[in-house]
Structure 1
């Protein structure tokens, strides 16, 4: 890969965003909706039993931004929200009659826009263009005949928690030289979750790409290991993100961002006031994900753990 090749890709991106009006804020397809808002309406109108968590993961949207967008839709009479049939803690999103009409209008104008673009070209050039578009999708994402693997976040099933222990131990040993004491720590965290988790306050997600497990994360009450097994009492104020994991072959495909967004969204919906996490400075890729989600580094401290000299970091996200 050369610098010139990178510039060609960036130049094409600038050209195409101008062509489709992606930069024309608030006037996508001559409507009062942005390109992102139009895409969310499209997903709701074409989905089956769509909920906010589905939209966050499928579109890789920040949980706070999506929440504000859905609130605007609700205030504008486009959608209604209610408890999901699959999980009462989730919000099921349904288009109103006005919302359906708006989505249909956007769909019609989108088809007209694409048709106008194609009409400018003679037949042979249209064929060339469509073949090139197919090639781009095939090389970078997928085609209808060979679709890109679908990213799905789900609740853990029997065997998944043991898989989390095994994959954390194996990957951190291979990539960072951690010894068996790290596996022991992960095993304790997972066992505490299995024994003490309360579905109202604690959640684990398993990420699948094309049906294969490629990642996981936990969101739990801070100090869950010290809490009594019985639930109830004063609602907790602090949640903790734990054991974020993305398999090497799935990195760069939005898995980590989807997992972090799911954790942030759950913590907000559950009513926590802040989300915290502890990590080590060597995990630079994870740091980027945390910063994008709005976490702030609050403290650093050198320590010797897992057979390594490390720098521990505390991160915090006010909710």
Structure 2
């Protein structure tokens, strides 16, 4: 019997060779990453799965156990045992969700944030070693191919909240972030309020003191990223008085305003100070910073004093705010 010319129209294409190439790439990538992870975990107290959980807890600030299980595709019993070990090591706290008392809300403790920061530094360094010997053109080609894989084979949940919308994430500081904070504070305040070089000098001193005296139990810096780009920052530092934390250098890029960046940065700062054991948090700002003052008020800060001063080339009214934790 003769086959009609169009009989193959509905026949699926033979993808066996493509599937073999995909499996070949998968084996290559798994071996490459496993070799890196093996070297890293020789010096780490965390297994690969534990490190994944720590990363999610740091990336999402606070998360419910059910959401964590689904996002990481983990068995409920296994995750529960893992979280119990984290709790025994004082890395996390678990509380009942305010919305649903049957669900657990998980947050990193100050010790957990320190561990997450070290894991992030190790992962960043390991990833960097893969790119060191590549030219700029080859790196761009590689990264574009990786983006294509994420887009074609699944939703890129880390970069997109939904289709076409940049995802806002908060993380602790990495090398280079403090210098970026000095640069952006100086540039933005000069452009928007006419501040002179003395403001840049002040910010540089604040950042230098933070770096020199840094204690992970009491100090923390958060960087906000929108679609993978740095768009904001804030610091929590010791004030010098027992039990008092100071919020410093809140910054939100103009392009990111309206996305809740400032609110999330301040909320993270307050939560960290409370978990660290501070009794109150204070901050100093100027009356012209209307948007920032609104964020502070919504977070529960109260204005306690204000006074006129001439600083940074401008006549200003300084304000002291306080929040009981």
Of structures 1 and 2, the one scoring higher in RCO (CA 8 A, sep 6+) is 1
The aligned residue for residue 263 of structure 1 is: 269
Write the deviation string for residues 87-128 of structure 1: whole angstroms up to 9, x where unpaired: 624899xxxxxxxxxxxxxxxxxxxxxxxxxxxxxxxxxxxx
In the alignment of these two chains, the number of paired residues is 202
Cα-Cα RMSD: 3.3
CA distance in 2, matches of 1:222, 1:49: 42
Distance 1:158 1:42, change over 3 A: same
The aligned residue for residue 189 of structure 1 is: 206
CA distance in 2, matches of 1:170, 1:83: 34
Name the larger-Rg structure: 2
Write the deviation string for residues 176-209 of structure 1: whole angstroms up to 9, x where unpaired: 0100000000000000001001000000001110
CA distance in 1, matches of 2:174, 2:73: 22
> Conserved in 1, the CA contact under 8 Å of 2:64 and 2:106?
no
Distance 1:77 1:91, change over 3 A: farther
The runs of at least 4 aligned residues of structure 1 exceeding 3 Å deviation read 39-50, 69-78, 80-84, 89-92
The aligned residue for residue 88 of structure 1 is: 112
CA distance in 1, matches of 2:317, 2:284: 11
CA distance in 2, matches of 1:249, 1:149: 12
The yes-or-no answer on 1:154 pairing with 2:178 is no
Distance 1:188 1:91, change over 3 A: closer
> Conserved in 1, the CA contact under 8 Å of 2:97 and 2:105?
no
Give the deviation of 1:157 after TM superposition.
Answer: 1.3
The yes-or-no answer on 1:243 pairing with 2:249 is yes
CA distance in 2, matches of 1:73, 1:169: 41
Give the deviation of 1:306 after TM superposition.
Answer: 0.3
Structure 1 unaligned blocks of 5 or more: 1-38, 51-68, 93-141, 225-235
- Report SS of the residue matched to 2:166: coil
The aligned residue for residue 78 of structure 1 is: 103
Distance 1:72 1:170, change over 3 A: closer
Instruction: Normalising by structure 1, report the TM-score.
Output: 0.57
The aligned residue for residue 283 of structure 1 is: 289
Structure 2 unaligned blocks of 5 or more: 1-62, 75-93, 117-159
Write the deviation string for residues 107-151 of structure 1: whole angstroms up to 9, x where unpaired: xxxxxxxxxxxxxxxxxxxxxxxxxxxxxxxxxxx885x331111
Distance 1:43 1:205, change over 3 A: same
Distance 1:314 1:83, change over 3 A: closer
Instruction: Normalising by structure 2, report the TM-score.
Output: 0.56
The yes-or-no answer on 1:203 pairing with 2:220 is yes
The aligned residue for residue 303 of structure 2 is: 297
Give the deviation of 1:223 after TM superposition.
Answer: 3.1
CA distance in 1, matches of 2:239, 2:315: 26
